[in-house]
Chains A and B, each alone.
Chain A
């Protein structure tokens, strides 16, 4: 790499393709060790890459100058409005304040009995078959049902809803706005009916998020109907594909590492720690983007207004300067909690505790019922770039 851009070596690594499972982490590790900062020229705008743990953490904290006018370094032009992500500064803080209480650990704990019950139902439904495509049949269905429950909607809508959300998300990541718009129309109509129902029949705003959104005031102004629908859509986009992907990588790992699986079966109280370590080791959202507003010297990197900055989440989580033997799954790792899988700064993932709960409940309930399973022989596992996901994970077990 002799070519440079504003003093940074230039990387041509394309992070948007399909590839064998775990190969993106190899590319990310190689770029991180190439130079502290890189300029990547594979997108129209290009982006400056922050890759080491300390830089990425500090990057998330530059929220006053580095805004979410760009949310993904790889898809800076993604025009889909999202809330609260698109807000910055005090406006963002005020909306987060309304939403936070529904996603705080205490609120999420109240969802646990329902989360367990739904998880058990789904596992029992498929257990007798002795096989499933884990990511297509289980890992996406479960978070979809949980999302509907969070909005106070019937989980029986899950199957239909899943069809829409899958089409929408797939089109967005493929950068196909026409196809995305068509799928979005059905989803927004569904949310529109749900929000109108809650306007007509409000529930307790302390317990019911949609009722709270309908009644909320920011600087004495109610949220508009469109804003509420956008919040619903954002929660859907943030919570479904990510949880599916996390479960996919976790189960691919456990199917291929029987000793790790046996440890969780022997002592299920290890599961919360295992979840943290899995989040560190296999982050799906492997980068976040930001747009620079004012010129700044960031630890020697000169950034200018309009620059796109890449915050290398996976590179931070797998940085050997921060985590010893970063490629190893180590359930006893003392600082695994410091991973940046959910981002950092004021935009850190709102749903992180719900995600943790879902992953924990699945690991507990699944292994009680299906402790032994394997990946179907002859399967070649692949992953999608941009935001990691496996399209298929065929598992089989004895019945």
Chain B
């Protein structure tokens, strides 16, 4: 499973790293530090990744079976 965080959609709501603290972290401005990245998830963090996607009011986080084509 892969997680991708769309840098253009992320507006720094700060909900994702609040619910996925083993997976994501915050920067000084309160944005998720991993924005703009796409990476493969370790199996034990897939659930947190899904929680993070469910917590984003901008729809900036996607969790997919395969790596997104444009990544």
Interface pair A352/B18, CB less than 8 Å apart: no
CA distance A345 to B8 in the complex (A): 10
Q: Which chain B residues border A339 with CB–CB below 8 Å?
A: 57
Let me know if A104 is at the binding interface, CB within 8 A. yes
Q: Which chain A residues border B18 with CB–CB below 8 Å?
A: 105
Interface pair B57/A344, CB less than 8 Å apart: yes
Question: Which of B9, B30, B58 lies at the interface centre, i.e. has the most chain A CB atoms within 10 A of its CB?
Answer: B30
Q: Which chain A residues border B55 with CB–CB below 8 Å?
A: 335, 337-338
Interface pair A100/B58, CB less than 8 Å apart: no
Interface pair A100/B12, CB less than 8 Å apart: yes
Interface pair B11/A346, CB less than 8 Å apart: yes
Let me know if B26 is at the binding interface, CB within 8 A. yes
Q: Which chain B residues border A106 with CB–CB below 8 Å?
A: 26, 28, 30
CA distance A395 to B44 in the complex (A): 47
Give the total of A residues in contact with B, Cβ under 8 Å.
23
CA distance A348 to B55 in the complex (A): 15
Interface pair A337/B14, CB less than 8 Å apart: no
- Chain A's closest residue to B11 (CB) is A348
Interface pair A97/B29, CB less than 8 Å apart: yes
Q: Which chain B residues border A348 with CB–CB below 8 Å?
A: 11-13, 57
Interface pair B13/A103, CB less than 8 Å apart: no
Let me know if A61 is at the binding interface, CB within 8 A. yes
Interface readout for A366-387 with B: 1 if CB under 8 Å, 0 if not? Answer: 0000000000000000000000
- Chain B's closest residue to A103 (CB) is B30
Chain A nearest CB, measured from B62 CB (Å): 14
Q: Which chain A residues border B14 with CB–CB below 8 Å?
A: 104-105, 352-353
Interface pair B57/A338, CB less than 8 Å apart: yes
CA distance A346 to B12 in the complex (A): 9
CA distance A104 to B58 in the complex (A): 17
CA distance A342 to B14 in the complex (A): 12
Interface readout for B55-67 with A: 1 if CB under 8 Å, 0 if not? Answer: 1111100000000
Interface pair B15/A337, CB less than 8 Å apart: yes
User: Given B13, B19, B28, which contacts A342 in the complex, CB threshold below 8 Å?
Assistant: B13
- Chain A's closest residue to B14 (CB) is A105
User: Given A61, A100, A334, A340, which contacts B29 in the complex, CB threshold below 8 Å?
Assistant: A100
Chain B nearest CB, measured from A97 CB (Å): 7
Residues of chain A from 21 to 55 with CB closer than 8 A to chain B in the complex: none
Let me know if B54 is at the binding interface, CB within 8 A. yes
Q: Which chain A residues border B12 with CB–CB below 8 Å?
A: 100, 104, 348
Given A100-B12, A342-B13, A344-B11, answer yes or no on A337-B30 (Cβ-Cβ < 8 Å): no
Given A346-B11, A353-B14, answer yes or no on A57-B58 (Cβ-Cβ < 8 Å): yes
Given A103-B30, A105-B30, answer yes or no on A337-B19 (Cβ-Cβ < 8 Å): yes
CA distance A105 to B14 in the complex (A): 7
Chain A nearest CB, measured from B36 CB (Å): 15
CA distance A337 to B56 in the complex (A): 7
Interface pair B57/A57, CB less than 8 Å apart: yes
Chain A nearest CB, measured from B56 CB (Å): 7
Interface pair A104/B57, CB less than 8 Å apart: no
Besides the known contacts A97-B29, A342-B57, A345-B58, 4 further A-B residue pairs in the complex with CB atoms under 8 A apart: A57-B57, A105-B14, A105-B26, A339-B57
A-B contact list, 14 entries, CB within 8 Å: A100-B31, A101-B28, A103-B30, A104-B14, A334-B54, A335-B54, A335-B55, A339-B57, A342-B57, A344-B11, A348-B11, A348-B12, A352-B13, A353-B30
